[in-house]
């Protein structure tokens, strides 16, 4: 593994842990009532942007040098869309129980599948699949001058600031627009990595402080967690977008400066990140239905326990399936 990819191993591991923890807030009864809980919620929620950023980074670093549209789309869909269909289709039939003998039931089934409106985070799959399909635009972005690239990222960021995330994270095209500048920023950082590392070196703390200041500002503005609305409706600025864009950059440059060779455990979490992604909402759903949380009664400790159980359980299932099915497990869990 090259030194350039060492930081992305840490990055993917941290991202999936933050995503899972953010989804465990409610079952741990860590509701953002106190100011400290609001600050923490704005720190931990929205970590999907980190996934998007590193996806853009890896698109340029790994796939662009040998880019083939057909090969790229086929490979990405095989690892993402196929496991999604394997898990989502039975989940829809069990949870939604659409009447497949009627046109309404069939339409409900297809709409739910197309939008990913299932569990908490499956919306990400239709969104990222659309992003993969748009990869010729990303190749075109790479061919632009750095100045034009920056101008485009800024213009798209302004749209995201006022567009916010979609209601219930659907439809997917709204998410594509919202996260486009984050994905492009990942591409930009990979493409201009050497120059950016030289520019930021010694200033990583400033990025961390800027991120902390944005989290504080978002909280002061009364925006707790993600902001969702119809695309054309006006509801002010989405501070979470700026929060997580700064967070994505700060985390990357800190890991580039201080991240050493990943441990075996970190690499394991990173490699299984998609499997954890697919499985953890199912675990949370089971916890909700069985009402097993809170356990300790202290929301902070319950959050730590819930996140550990959810991530650990998902990882163990992923490892067991991989041992049982070998390389075929990627068609079930993307791992």
Identify the three-state secondary structure at position 165.
strand
Rounded Cα distance, 252 and 153, in Å:
18
| 1 pLDDT above the threshold of 50 | no
pLDDT tens for residues 163-176? 999 999 989 999 99
Rounded Cα distance, 46 and 241, in Å:
8
Q: Terminus-to-terminus CA distance in the chain, angstroms?
A: 18
Predicted pLDDT of residue 331: 81
Q: Element (H or E) spanning 279, and its range?
A: helix 273-290
The answer to whether 185 and 160 are in contact (CB under 8 A) is no
Token pair, residue 179, equals 């996260």
Identify the three-state secondary structure at position 233.
coil
The answer to whether 127 and 172 are in contact (CB under 8 A) is yes
| 283 pLDDT above the threshold of 80 | yes
What is the pTM for the complete model shown? Answer: 0.93
Mean pLDDT within 295-314: 93
Rounded Cα distance, 228 and 212, in Å:
22
Across 164-200, b (16+ Cβ under 10 Å) vs e yields: bbbeebbbbebbbebbbbbbbbbbbbbbebeebeeeb
pLDDT tens for residues 106-155? 888 888 888 887 766 889 999 999 999 999 999 999 999 999 999 999 99
Identify the three-state secondary structure at position 204.
helix
Token pair, residue 220, equals 């002061």
Predicted pLDDT of residue 335: 79
- DSSP states along 39-96: HHHHHHTTTHHHHHHHHHHHIIIIIGGG--HHHHHHHHHHHHHHHHHHHHHHHHHHHT
Instruction: Provide the β-strand partners of residue 228.
Output: 165
Mean pLDDT within 173-200: 96
Rounded Cα distance, 88 and 71, in Å:
25
How many beta carbons lie within 10 A of that of residue 304, not counting itself? 15
Any idea which residue has 């998410």 for tokens? 175
Token pair, residue 267, equals 């690499």
User: pLDDT confidence of 250, banded at 50, 70, 90?
Assistant: very high
Q: What is the DSSP letter of 1?
A: -
The answer to whether 15 and 285 are in contact (CB under 8 A) is no
Token pair, residue 128, equals 């990222």
| 280 pLDDT above the threshold of 70 | yes
The answer to whether 259 and 7 are in contact (CB under 8 A) is yes
Q: Which of 76, 50, 54 is nearest to 6 (CA)?
A: 54
| 68 pLDDT above the threshold of 80 | yes
Q: Cβ contacts of residue 119 below 8 Å, gap of 6+?
A: 91, 281, 282, 284, 285
More confident call, 189 vs 95: 189
Mean pLDDT within 208-226: 95
Cβ-in-10-Å burial (0-12, 13-18, 19+) of 1 comes to exposed
How many beta carbons lie within 10 A of that of residue 105, not counting itself? 14
How many beta carbons lie within 10 A of that of residue 282, not counting itself? 17
Predicted pLDDT of residue 4: 58
Instruction: Provide the β-strand partners of residue 165.
Output: 228
Share of the chain above pLDDT 70, in %: 98
102-116, 188-202, 204-218: segment of lowest average pLDDT? 102-116
């Amino acid at each position: 593994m090259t030194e350039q990819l060492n930081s992305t191993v840490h990055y993917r591991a941290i991202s999936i842990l933050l995503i899972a923890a953010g989804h465990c807030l409610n079952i741990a009864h860590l509701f953002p009532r106190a100011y400290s809980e609001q600050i923490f919620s704005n720190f931990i929620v929205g970590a999907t942007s980190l996934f998007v950023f590193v996806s853009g980074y890896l698109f340029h670093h790994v796939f662009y040098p040998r880019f083939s549209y057909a090969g790229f789309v086929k490979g990405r869909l095989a690892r993402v869309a196929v496991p999604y269909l394997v898990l989502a289709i039975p989940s829809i039939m069990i949870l939604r129980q659409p009447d497949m003998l009627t046109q309404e039931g069939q339409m409900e089934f297809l709409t739910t599948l197309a939008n990913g409106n299932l569990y908490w985070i499956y919306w990400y799959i239709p969104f990222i699949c659309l992003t993969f399909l748009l990869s010729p635009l990303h190749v075109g972005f790479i061919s632009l001058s750095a100045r034009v690239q920056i101008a485009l990222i800024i213009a798209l960021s302004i749209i995201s600031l006022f567009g916010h995330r979609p209601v219930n994270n659907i439809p997917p095209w709204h998410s594509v627009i919202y996260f486009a500048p984050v994905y492009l920023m990942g591409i930009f950082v990979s493409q201009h990595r050497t120059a950016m590392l030289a520019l930021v070196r010694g200033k990583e703390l400033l990025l961390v402080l800027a991120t902390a200041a944005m989290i504080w500002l978002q909280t002061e503005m009364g925006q707790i967690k993600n902001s969702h609305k119809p695309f054309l409706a006006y509801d002010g600025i989405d501070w979470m977008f700026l929060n997580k864009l700064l967070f994505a950059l700060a985390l990357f440059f800190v890991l580039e400066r201080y991240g050493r060779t990943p441990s075996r455990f970190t690499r394991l979490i990173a490699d299984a990140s998609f499997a954890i992604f697919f499985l953890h909402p199912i675990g949370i759903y089971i916890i909700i239905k069985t009402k097993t949380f809170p356990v300790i009664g202290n929301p902070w400790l319950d959050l730590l326990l819930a996140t550990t159980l959810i991530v650990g359980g998902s990882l163990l299932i992923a490892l067991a399936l991989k041992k049982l099915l070998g390389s075929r497990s990627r068609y079930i869990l993307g791992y």
